[in-house]
Chains A and B, each alone.
Chain A
Amino acid sequence: MQCKAALWITGAFRTSPSDGIEAIAGLIPVTLHIRKLNGRHHLRYGTISSLHAINLLLDSQHAKNHPPHRVTTSKLTNKQWANLKSPIKDVNKCLDSIRNCFNPTFPLFSPGSRVVDHFSSRISFHSPSSSSDEDLFQHLQNLNHAFRSSQTSFFSTTIITDGGIKKSHVATAVTYIWCHTP
């Protein structure tokens, strides 16, 4: 059906390749279009009012203090949950992946106002020079040394971050903050 539409839009010959003329006509494949709309629909549940009736059917952590309905997903057995084919099931999964957001245009995030701009002399960065094993080993030793020295001095803070996490579906980076106060 989409090919028919693309032929009509472009005015191409009827034997023209479907994918090519769909791309020229600016139509995305129907499956991807449906996936896009479905994803948007799931995300919409994160913004609905706390008084909306659909909250009754969501899991307790997303229900916004509403009492659970008798057919809510939390009241189903594991077997029933596995056999359930409902959009609410996908919505619950999608809402689990939504985290708190921050305002990227907040005044304190603008260049010149950040902590690193005000106290650049008091902050030191330790980044690996390359990903080769030798450099990483050297980098690890440097980090251990820096961490030990920060533990001995008062009023120092150590922040360790790793943005290379690929396997987890929930987190893409991890940060550990160590504050040493008397």
Chain B
Amino acid sequence: MKFVTLTHLIRAGWLKKCHTSILAFNITQFFPSLNHQFLSICLKKAGLNANVIHFFNSYYSNCSTSYSWNTFTFPSFNVNISVDQGSALSPILSALYLAPIIKTFKKRIKNLNKEFPTDILSFVDNRLLISQKKNYSLSNSFLLCSYNIISKILIDTSLVMEHNKTKLFHFMRARHPPNPSIDLTTVGGSIITPKPIWRYLGFFFDRKLNFYYHTHFYATKCLSTLSTMKMLGNSSRGLLPIQKTTPI
């Protein structure tokens, strides 16, 4: 559904004669960096039952961890951060943790300008800043401003952005559209140059939303799977026909 949202935003923006610029960034070690104290405040703000809040306070109090290397184990020490990797609760808790961050971000950009054309989309530790403007330089400056604001909010909530994984992408319908880069050196990043193809959540986006590269990539993958699986069996031996149908 995130993919559908993104596609709709881009296409509707084109109809309003605005091009869409996207800045994708990650958070370093997201689950192991969640602060328990802040999480407790978030749960309270979310309006959860007192018993639930009490349970989580107790669950995450006096946590300790230790590192082991082959047979050698380091002594354990207390930690006041991190939710369990692989736990079913962690994505929900992380979403509750992020809700006030996004709310603060929206409030701050609204204070700057009521018509600030930047949206934020979040998927676990993956964030997108979306700016829609008719002018590239304006769009880039809005993105830079939003990036600065969100990085400061994240630092306040004990999270760190992974600047070297930040990506920029411009969606444009024109035949030979410009592809300007963005300078994030002032906010701790580097100069980012957009590429013609952007991989996001398993989809390959191109600048005109044609998905030619996407279909070509997955068709090739499918054909190579088929040719490889030929070796695994035929109608008389090896894999059964029903087992063969499943990967297709």
Q: Give chain A's interface residues, CB within 8 Å of chain B.
A: 1-2, 4-5, 8-11, 25-27, 48, 52-54, 57, 70-71, 73, 76, 80, 83-88, 91
* Interface stretch (choices B133-141, B147-155, B163-171, B226-234): B226-234
Q: How far is the CA of A180 from the CA of B117 in the complex (A)?
A: 60
Partner of A84 from the list B1, B15, B222, B234 (CB cut-off 8 Å) is B15
CB distance from B168 to the nearest CB of A (A): 21
The interface residues of chain B lying within 8 Å CB-to-CB of A86 are 7-8, 11-12
Contact across chains for B245 and A25 when beta carbons are under 8 A apart: yes
The interface residues of chain B lying within 8 Å CB-to-CB of A80 are 12, 15-16
The interface residues of chain A lying within 8 Å CB-to-CB of B223 are 1, 4
Given contacts A10-B235, A80-B16, 5 further A-B contacts (CB under 8 A): A1-B222, A2-B248, A71-B9, A76-B15, A87-B7
Q: Which residue of B lies closest to A24 (CB)?
A: B241
Contact across chains for A5 and B226 when beta carbons are under 8 A apart: yes
Partner of A71 from the list B1, B12, B229 (CB cut-off 8 Å) is B12
Contact across chains for A11 and B15 when beta carbons are under 8 A apart: no
Within 8 A of A (CB), among B120-141: 121, 132
Quick check: is B219 within 8 A (CB to CB) of the other chain? yes
The interface residues of chain A lying within 8 Å CB-to-CB of B236 are 11
Contact across chains for B244 and A8 when beta carbons are under 8 A apart: yes
Contact across chains for A4 and B226 when beta carbons are under 8 A apart: yes
7 contacts between A and B (CB under 8 A): A1-B219, A4-B223, A4-B226, A8-B226, A9-B244, A71-B13, A87-B7
Q: How large is the interface on B (under 10, 10 to 19, 20 to 34, 35 or more residues)?
A: 20 to 34
CB distance from B40 to the nearest CB of A (A): 21
Contact across chains for B13 and A54 when beta carbons are under 8 A apart: no
Do A54 and B1 form a contact, CB below 8 Å, given A11-B236, A88-B8? yes
- Among A53, A71, A91, the most chain B Cβ lie within 10 Å of the Cβ of A71
CB distance from B146 to the nearest CB of A (A): 16
Q: How far is the CA of A83 from the CA of B12 in the complex (A)?
A: 9
At the interface, is chain A mostly helix, strand, loop or mixed?
helix
Give the number of A-B contacts (CB < 8 Å): 67
CB distance from B123 to the nearest CB of A (A): 10
CB distance from B238 to the nearest CB of A (A): 11
Contact across chains for A10 and B241 when beta carbons are under 8 A apart: yes
Contact across chains for B12 and A9 when beta carbons are under 8 A apart: no
Partner of A26 from the list B5, B132, B234, B245 (CB cut-off 8 Å) is B245
Do A11 and B219 form a contact, CB below 8 Å, given A71-B13, A71-B16, A86-B7? no
Contact across chains for A9 and B245 when beta carbons are under 8 A apart: yes
Contact across chains for A76 and B245 when beta carbons are under 8 A apart: no
Q: How far is the CA of A105 from the CA of B80 in the complex (A)?
A: 51
Do A52 and B219 form a contact, CB below 8 Å, given A4-B226, A8-B226, A9-B245? no
Contact bitstring B1-23, A, C-beta under 8 A = 1, else 0? 10011011101110110000000
The interface residues of chain B lying within 8 Å CB-to-CB of A71 are 8-9, 12-13, 16, 132
Q: How far is the CA of A52 from the CA of B122 in the complex (A)?
A: 12
Q: How far is the CA of A71 from the CA of B131 in the complex (A)?
A: 12
Q: Which residue of A lies closest to B223 (CB)?
A: A1
Q: How far is the CA of A48 from the CA of B223 in the complex (A)?
A: 35
Contact across chains for B234 and A11 when beta carbons are under 8 A apart: yes
Q: How far is the CA of A52 from the CA of B1 in the complex (A)?
A: 10
Q: How far is the CA of A40 from the CA of B241 in the complex (A)?
A: 27
The interface residues of chain A lying within 8 Å CB-to-CB of B7 are 86-87
Contact across chains for A84 and B12 when beta carbons are under 8 A apart: yes
Do A88 and B15 form a contact, CB below 8 Å, given A1-B222, A1-B223, A5-B248? no
Do A53 and B16 form a contact, CB below 8 Å, given A1-B222, A5-B248, A10-B241? no
Q: Which residue of B lies closest to A71 (CB)?
A: B12
Do A76 and B12 form a contact, CB below 8 Å, given A1-B219, A4-B226, A9-B241? yes
